[in-house]
Chain A
Amino acid sequence: MSTHSTRLAARFMVAPSVLVLFIWMIVPLAMTAYFSFRLYRLLSPDRTGWVGFNNYVWFFNSPDFWLALTNTLLLVGGVLVITVVLGILIALLIDQPVKGQGVLRILVIAPFFVMPPVAASIWENLFMHPQNGLFAALARGLGGQPILFLEQHPLPSVIGIVAWEWLPFATLIFVTALQSLSSEQLEAAEMDGAGALSRFRYIILPHMTRAVTVVILIQTIFLLGIFGEIFTTTQGGPGSASTTLPYMIFKQAIVAKDIGRAAAGGIIAVILANIVAYFLMRGIGRHLDA
């Protein structure tokens, strides 16, 4: 159907939107790049002049930077593992025909509608709080000491909160994938002697690879920029224990009021995102093709 002339016409038609999208992307990126090479401190009078790579060098020399980089990757990776594994398990469960399936599904996706700072506050004050939290009450009930989640395990706590928020999204995608699996395939496998585990391993899981890929790609995009949950709960601390790259940029821009350094951090974050995207597409991108 794609004759030469229709392809040409198609190119003409998409050209304006491609152009707009390109400008939309390139202007902020170019401005960030521009500021990243400038001295631009809001709190000091000298805010002019080129400084070369000084802003970048500051980042690379800062001990916090490598910690923030590791934290960012740990956060993304940890949330992905939890949401994919639990998401598949929950999807398998709520795909079973049970009474009140509709209500059950709404309950499962509900956390997705809670705004990040609200979710983080709920977890901080109602669950993880060392005096009033549910976990502390449980620990005391079992005769133990309350765990100081945000003080002693700040990053795992943040990972837990973010995973709780994103679990519904993963579950939702996995449920729709499960529903598109023909029941005859499962019945055929059953007749072929596959038990429940084999059916999961050989029929259900391969059927879901594309859904898993989509979940990983979409979540990675959003998780690389997680900020609100950290700001609400740990503020990147204690010390810098739960500081991520976006949080470090925030500290430079808003706390230290150094726009130049923040811009350099922004460019580093963009490069990091592209590296991650490159490896993701190489690793699992082929599952997106039919």
Chain B
Amino acid sequence: MGKIQLTKVRKSFGEVDVIPGIDLTIEDGEFVVFVGPSGCGKSTLLRLIAGLEDTTSGVIDIDGKDATNLPPAKRGLAMVFQSYALYPHMTVRKNIAFPLKMAGMDQAEQDKRVARAASVLNLSSYLDRRPGQLSGGQRQRVAIGRAIVREPAAFLFDEPLSNLDAALRVGMRQEISELHQTLKTTMVYVTHDQVEAMTMADKIVVLNAGRIEQVGSPLTLYHEPRNKFVAGFIGSPRMNFIDGAEAAKHGAHTIGIRPEHITVGDGPWEGVVGLSEHLGSDSFIKVEVPGLGTLNVRGPGELGVHHGDRVKLAPAGKIHRFDAEGLAI
């Protein structure tokens, strides 16, 4: 069981209100991802849940019990750190068994659990090595192993993949998703990589300056962003925002169009191509349109458009409308 409920949780470091007040419910078994720009308080929020930071005010309930003042060890949560935080002088086996040893579990049960975790994570042949003798991906797996042996109520991940190279990141991302499907334990995952957020999450929490901008499933956030911030943050390349006369035509202060919702060929807008990136599967081009500004356009891979070409563009998909405060209409 791992339902986590935050009520008016506030955190300030001295004068600075890092988290001015958050209400959030994480259901049992859910995979929740916190995303947001750097410094918005994702790690702080996670550490508040873990108990590594004290709340300034507010209540944190875990499984319906008030855990606000419980020490980290008593909350039944396990955390995987960005730096892995393995114990360098212990073997992989001892690292994974450490929480069990601290819980005073008998040796036979410890061995059984370590063996099971090692086989789930493909670590069985590395059990007698030290962390220093492992690759980044293997260390990451040891850190996860140390978390799963305790059978916690929920897992907390703080940017666990950011130290890995791109290929490994994709692999580990899938492994963590599979782990979630197998264990069905609540997972709270912090990242600023929106691909991770979109692919792994049941529910995404978009944070900005310590406030929740929107909570919802990945596709809800993509299709129905509540405001300009979420619209700009979710989706890559970024959504185009257009102000002024063009927006007024749609009865809005600002309109937003995703790059994939603009077609090249014929249309009302005309401009000169600035940057063009051809990835094979897709083409990303930036078009300077007089009166509208620079538009990001995502076209098919075989789009034969290059720097300096004149192209015509047409909106072909949902146009998001925002009022003067940036809220979606």
Chain A residues close to B by CB (< 8 Å) = 182, 184-185, 187-195, 198, 202-203, 206-207, 209
Contact = CB atoms under 8 A, between A and B. Distances in A.
Contact of A184 (B71, B72, B85, B88): B85
B248 interface: no
A111 B89 CA distance: 34
Nearest to B102: A193
A185 B98 CA distance: 12
3 tightest CB-CB pairs across the interface, nearest first? A192-B99, A188-B85, A193-B102
Given A191-B73, A193-B103, A207 B81 contact: no
A97 B132 CA distance: 30
Contacts of B78: 191
18 contacts: A182-B85, A184-B83, A187-B52, A187-B79, A187-B81, A187-B85, A190-B52, A191-B52, A192-B99, A192-B150, A193-B73, A193-B102, A194-B102, A198-B102, A202-B98, A206-B89, A206-B90, A209-B89
B87 interface: yes
A193 B79 CA distance: 12
A188 B73 contact: no
A198 B90 CA distance: 14
Contact of B81 (A188, A193, A195): A188
Given A198-B102, A202-B98, A190 B72 contact: yes
Q: Which of A182, A188, A190, A195 has the largest count of B CB atoms less than 10 A from its CB?
A: A188
B49 to A, nearest CB: 11
B52 A185 contact: no
Nearest to A198: B102
B50 interface: yes
Contacts of A187: 52, 72, 79, 81, 85
B79 A188 contact: yes
Nearest to B50: A191
Contact of B98 (A182, A189, A206, A209): A189
Contacts, number: 59
Contacts of B81: 184, 187-188
A202 B98 CA distance: 9
Given A184-B85, A187-B52, A202-B87, 14 more contacts: A182-B85, A185-B87, A187-B81, A187-B85, A190-B52, A190-B73, A191-B72, A191-B77, A191-B78, A193-B99, A195-B73, A198-B102, A202-B90, A206-B89
B146 interface: yes
Contacts of A190: 52, 71-73
B83 to A, nearest CB: 5
Interface of B: 50, 52, 71-73, 77-79, 81-83, 85-90, 98-99, 102-103, 146, 150
Nearest to A194: B102
B52 A192 contact: no
Contacts of B103: 193
A184 B150 CA distance: 19
Contacts of B90: 202, 206
B52 A207 contact: no
Q: Which of A182, A184, A192, A207 has the largest count of B CB atoms less than 10 A from its CB?
A: A192
A286 B86 CA distance: 22
A166 B98 CA distance: 36
A251 B87 CA distance: 53
Given A185-B85, A185-B87, A192 B50 contact: no
A182 B89 CA distance: 13
Contacts of A184: 81-83, 85
Q: Which of A187, A191, A194 has the largest count of B CB atoms less than 10 A from its CB?
A: A191
B83 A192 contact: no
Q: Which of A187, A190, A193, A209 has the largest count of B CB atoms less than 10 A from its CB?
A: A193
A189 B150 CA distance: 13
Contacts of B71: 190
Contacts of A209: 89
A17 B77 CA distance: 58
B251 to A, nearest CB: 51
Contacts of B102: 192-194, 198
Contacts of A193: 73, 99, 102-103
A192 B98 contact: yes
A113 B169 CA distance: 53
A190 B77 CA distance: 11
Contacts of A189: 87, 98
A59 B9 CA distance: 77
Nearest to A185: B85
Contacts of B50: 191
B52 A182 contact: no
Contacts of B87: 185, 188-189, 202-203, 206
B79 A191 contact: yes
A97 to B, nearest CB: 13
A209 B79 CA distance: 27
A54 B37 CA distance: 83
A192 B73 contact: yes
Nearest to A207: B89
Q: Which of B72, B90, B146 has the largest count of A CB atoms less than 10 A from its CB?
A: B72
Contacts of B86: 185, 188
Contacts of B89: 206-207, 209
A194 B98 CA distance: 9
Nearest to B75: A191
A180 to B, nearest CB: 12
Contacts of A207: 88-89
